[in-house]
Amino acid sequence: MRWLRPLAVTALCASIAACTTSPTGRSQLLLLSDSELNEMGRQAFTQYQQELPTAGQASQRYVQCIADAIVAELPAEQQQLDWQIRVFESEQPNAFALPGGYMGVNTGMLDIATTQDQLASVIGHEIGHVLANHANERASTESATSLGLSVLSSTSGMQSAGGQQLMGVLGMGAQYGIVLPFSRAHESEADVIGLDLMAQAGFNPRESVTLWE
């Protein structure tokens, strides 16, 4: 397995070279290209549309108006995306924004976010995930974590019973110490970005507090 060592080192060096910073200045690892992410977003959005019916035109116009106001405040590079938003008939209070500019809001969310300001808080938060490349970061972190464990296994002789046991410990450490905590960081960062966007668009950020109470 000696031939795996230079390959593993090369892959790890590529991962290090892909480090960047988020809009709030937090360090990130981004391995996927924009085109790859946008295609993933398109596929997910298409599947979502196939599984759920769309809501009526009144709900669609209402949500579209708020989304347009927030999109108008995005950086020029992000405004170039063909942002699309759909309202879906579902009691589940859910909203999302995907790479490539694909957004969705369930009618169940409209029962919770009952004012324009509250809905702007939801949409701004979801767009914040896209602006901060959270989908890319999560996928990249999980990929690098798996790669790191594979490198340890191939280069450190962890094929013995004791080595396999240690791999199990490292795997659990990776799951609970690296990957899952990022989601909390992502949510906090999306909050910061979303509140800033909704304020720039003329909505009241204080309504987000009322929404999440």
What SS3 state is found at 5?
helix
- Band the pLDDT of 25: cuts 50, 70, 90: confident
The answer to whether residue 12 sits within a structural domain is no
Which pLDDT belongs to residue 184?
A: 82
Question: How many domains in the chain?
Answer: 1
Which pLDDT belongs to residue 144?
A: 60
The answer to whether residue 162 sits within a structural domain is yes
Q: What letter does residue 54 receive in the DSSP assignment? A: B
The answer to whether residue 14 sits within a structural domain is no
- Band the pLDDT of 18: cuts 50, 70, 90: low
The answer to whether residue 128 sits within a structural domain is yes
- Band the pLDDT of 169: cuts 50, 70, 90: very low
Q: Is the pLDDT of residue 172 over 50?
A: no
Per-residue pLDDT, averaged over 10-38, amounts to 70
Which pLDDT belongs to residue 71?
A: 97
What tokens were used for 192?
């910061």
Per-residue pLDDT, averaged over 63-84, amounts to 94
| Residue 144: domain span | 31-212
Per-residue pLDDT, averaged over 32-38, amounts to 86
The answer to whether residue 111 sits within a structural domain is yes
Q: Is the pLDDT of residue 30 over 90?
A: no
pTM: 0.74
The answer to whether residue 54 sits within a structural domain is yes
Choice between 143 and 17, residue whose per-residue pLDDT is larger: 143
**126 classed as catalytic:** yes
Number of neighbours of residue 111 by Cβ within 10 angstroms = 10
In angstroms, the CA 192 to CA 23 distance is 10
In angstroms, the CA 187 to CA 153 distance is 33
Which of 73, 89, 91, 126 is catalytic? The answer is 126
Please identify which residue in the block is written with the tokens 């896209």. 130
Write the secondary structure of 131-154 as one string of H (helix), E (strand) and C (coil). HCCHHHHHHHHHHHHHHHHHHHHH
Nearest 5°: phi and psi at 176? Answer: -95, -15
The answer to whether residue 6 sits within a structural domain is no
Q: What is the pLDDT of residues 81-125, one digit of tens each?
A: 889 999 999 999 999 999 999 999 999 999 999 999 999 999 999
Choice between 183 and 172, residue whose per-residue pLDDT is larger: 183
The answer to whether residue 8 sits within a structural domain is no
